[in-house]
Structure 1
């Protein structure tokens, strides 16, 4: 049962990314992909509210590098909530607290 849930989650995550990249409305996308509108709306809500399993996150380890630059070092894009642009590396504890 858990394997089926994982496959379903992966499928809808892929569909979600394709939908976001397409720029199409949800109904049009669902019709073109032959998927049920209400089911896809359910998955959009799950994916955007973060109620999907946290196993999709991976630990990122970085060597501490002192960089003072006018160019961004990294970006963290949050679904429809904005983007964090880092000009220097944040403390790992801060990133962990942000994502929890």
Structure 2
């Protein structure tokens, strides 16, 4: 299993169809294990905890390929401060105020 090999962080970028080949080449070049839903443009590259540079490089690559940093798994606390997701965070906060006005779910996760 990948977790047993130290790959404990899974990302979920979305890549537009016209750039999937470029992203696959990037994954191969960086020897990152990944699986995904190619017909939907969603990938799940795996990283080790110490691979912070590689994670940042992936985020930049996703941006350059006109992709999104969060497809299936959402933004969460690991991505909430990325400039590229600020509008999504605003939407989350708006929905949270509407449907969770007493801050019961995931209290304190989004400031």
TM range (shorter): under 0.3
* TM-score, L = length of structure 2: 0.26
Greater relative CO, 1 or 2 (CA 8 Å, sep 6+): 2
* TM-score, L = length of structure 1: 0.27
Higher helix share: 1
